[in-house]
Amino acid sequence: MLIEKTLIEQFNINEIEIQRRMALLKLSQAELDTLAAQQPLIERNLDAIVGKFYEKQTEFDEIALLIGDSDTLQRLRTAQRRYIQELFCGHYDNAYVNSRLRIGLVHKRIGVEPKLYLSASCTLKYLIEDVLIEQMSNATERSLVLRALDKLISFDTALVFDTYIGTLLSAVENAKKRMEAYARELEEKSKILSSHAERDPLTELYNKRAMMSTINRELNAAIRRKSYLSVIYIDVNKFKFINDTFGHAKGDEVLQTLGQAIAESCRNTDFPCRIGGDEFCVILPEASRATALHISDRIEASFTTAYPEFSISIGINATGNEEFVSVNELIDGADKAMYEAKQQS
């Protein structure tokens, strides 16, 4: 059967493993043969054993609740009969192992706790032993059968617990995978939200919040490395006139074009930002005033090519590589230089 093959493969129990487990319990073929020889005796007492077993089991409320209605009880009685018959069947191969693995799987699925299974297993063993002790007259043979039964039930219990533990580990692994997937999803969402929080929606450049975080970090890095740090401030000349004359849609288009010109003119290490209205800022790590001037010329050329009828004002400030100003002084200096350029335009 497919389910049997699947369980055998899932728990890696083949003929060699079966023999190894029996060897660990010192369960010999001779002992198994002594069990099989008692099959007629067990068959004669099978109904009595099963009846007493469920009489004792239903004395416990938690077991009675698990059993439920009479139809379920009848199905369990049938399954228990089959289990006892298999103990004395004389064939302890893959099919036998699969039946025990399936028992563990079913008990785990319906919520039978290990303590309840162990209790039931002990009860069944004692009931079978009572029958064997009462009806086997040969004390030596009886002792061998009882010892073999004890070993075989231990063999069965180990198989049942393989499925208990295996399904628990599988559930833990699946839960771990779900949690990891959920964590990755949250991380990706967090990155997206963080990215959106630091971006200007119109131009897709960094916003003022991101600019302030970046310039503080880059100034500290420049001080450690004793390198330059430059800032470019840019403003669209007569932007109110553009909005009033051509409409806000045109104004937005101009800002987007300027944003694109800035992004395309910068180096990969630079941080282009829109800090509000028609004002833009570029942070240039490890860039002297001369480098900043070169980049600002590229920005201006790109913008005026797109809009020869409009113009921008640019201010530059730099610090390093020996002496450094504060963040506010660096920004204010670039802002002041930009306004001076605007007055001259």
Active site residues: 278
CB burial readout 128-165, b (16+ within 10 A) else e: beebbeeebeeeeebebbbebbebbbebbbebbebbbe
Q: Report the 10 Å Cβ neighbour count for 58.
A: 13
Sign of CA dihedral 35, 41, 44, 47: negative
Look at strands 279-285 and 271-276 and give their pairing. Answer: antiparallel
Cis peptide before 321 (omega within 30 of 0): yes
Residue at 284: amino acid letter:
L
Angstrom CA distances, 317 to 7, 229, 230, 325, stand at 73, 9, 6, 10
The b-or-e profile of 298-310 (16+ CB within 10 A means b, else e) is ebbebbeeebeeb
Task: Assign residue 204 a region (left: φ > 0; alpha: ψ between -120 and 50; beta: otherwise).
Answer: left
- Contact between residue 198 and residue 209 where contact means Cβ atoms under 8 Å apart: yes
| Crossing angle of helices 114-135 and 139-197, rounded to 10° | 170
